[in-house]
Amino acid sequence: MKISKRLQVIGDLVSDNSFILDIGCDHALLDIYVVQKNKNVHAVASDINEGPLKKAKENINKYNLKDKIKIKQADGLESYEENIDTIILSGLGGVTIVDILKNKKELLPKIKKIIISSNNNYYYLRKNITNLNFKIESEKIVYEKGKYYPIIVFIPGKEKYNNFQLKYGPKLLKEKNQVFKNYLDYNRKKLIKIYKSLNNKYFLKKIKIKREIKMINKI
Ligand SMILES: C[S@@+](CC[C@H](N)C(=O)[O-])C[C@H]1O[C@@H](n2cnc3c(N)ncnc32)[C@H](O)[C@@H]1O
- Residue 126 Cα to ligand 1 midpoint, Å, equals 20
For ligand 1, what atom is nearest to the CA of residue 78? 20
Which range of residues forms the domain containing residue 181?
A: 176-219
Helix (H) or strand (E) holding 69: strand 69-73
Tell me the CA distances in angstroms from 106 to 30, 87, 102, 103, 109, one per residue in order.
Answer: 26, 14, 9, 9, 7
Report yes or no on 154 lying in a domain.
Answer: yes
Report yes or no on 145 lying in a domain.
Answer: yes
Residues 123 and 23 in one domain: yes
pLDDT of res. 116: 98
d(CA 128, CA 99): 10
d(CA 147, CA 150): 10
Q: Using DSSP, state whether 125 is helix, strand or coil.
A: helix
Mean pLDDT, rounded, for 192-207: 96
Segment 26-84, tens digit of pLDDT: 999 999 999 999 999 999 999 999 999 999 999 999 999 999 999 999 999 999 999 99
Residues 47 and 154 in one domain: yes
| pLDDT over 70, % of the chain | 100
Domain count, the chain: 2
pLDDT of res. 125: 98
Residues 127 and 180 in one domain: no
Which residues, judged by CB distance below 6 Å to any ligand atom, belong to the binding site of ligand 1? 7, 23-26, 46-49, 52, 75-76, 90-92, 96, 100
Residues 126 and 189 in one domain: no
Report yes or no on 168 lying in a domain.
Answer: no
Read off the CATH number of the domain in which 14 is found. Answer: 3.40.50.150
